Amino acid sequence: MPIWPEREKTLVVETPEEASSLTIERKEVVTPVPIQFKGQVKTDKGQPLIQTAGTQTISVTLPKSQLELTQLARGSISDSITWFAAFWLRMIKKAIHFGWQLFHK
């Protein structure tokens, strides 16, 4: 056997039509989540199960200001007020993302 043996010919024939770059790119793209449902699901009595209005705006009333919540969220992990503040900070981020209205008490 020689030092550099020749490679055997591959029996598999590659066809570029099978792996399209468009199908690969579509799997990597984040798909948007539908906010408003178009199809209506009805109960056994015929009443709509889910009711969403396109013009309905969601409002969130904050218990404290954002600055106070930020300071409270830096507390000890054993205190419940820390988790309370962290929850409301997440709600603020979610409200900004979805375009909800924010109110302060």
Q: What is the pLDDT of residue 5?
A: 72
pTM over 0.95: no
Instruction: Convert the pLDDT of each residue in 44-79 to its tens digit.
Output: 888 877 666 666 678 889 999 999 999 999 999 999
Q: What is the pLDDT of residue 36?
A: 64
Would you place residue 100 in the very low, low, confident or very high pLDDT band (cuts 50, 70, 90)? Answer: confident
Q: What is the pLDDT of residue 70?
A: 94
29-49 exposure pattern, b = at least 16 Cβ within 10 A, e = fewer: eeeeeeeeeeeeeeeeeeeee
Q: What is the pLDDT of residue 104?
A: 83
**Which residue blocks in the chain are alpha helix, DSSP H?**
21-28, 66-73, 80-98
Please say whether the dihedral angle defined by the alpha carbons of residues 28, 92, 58 and 101, taken in this order, is positive or negative.
negative
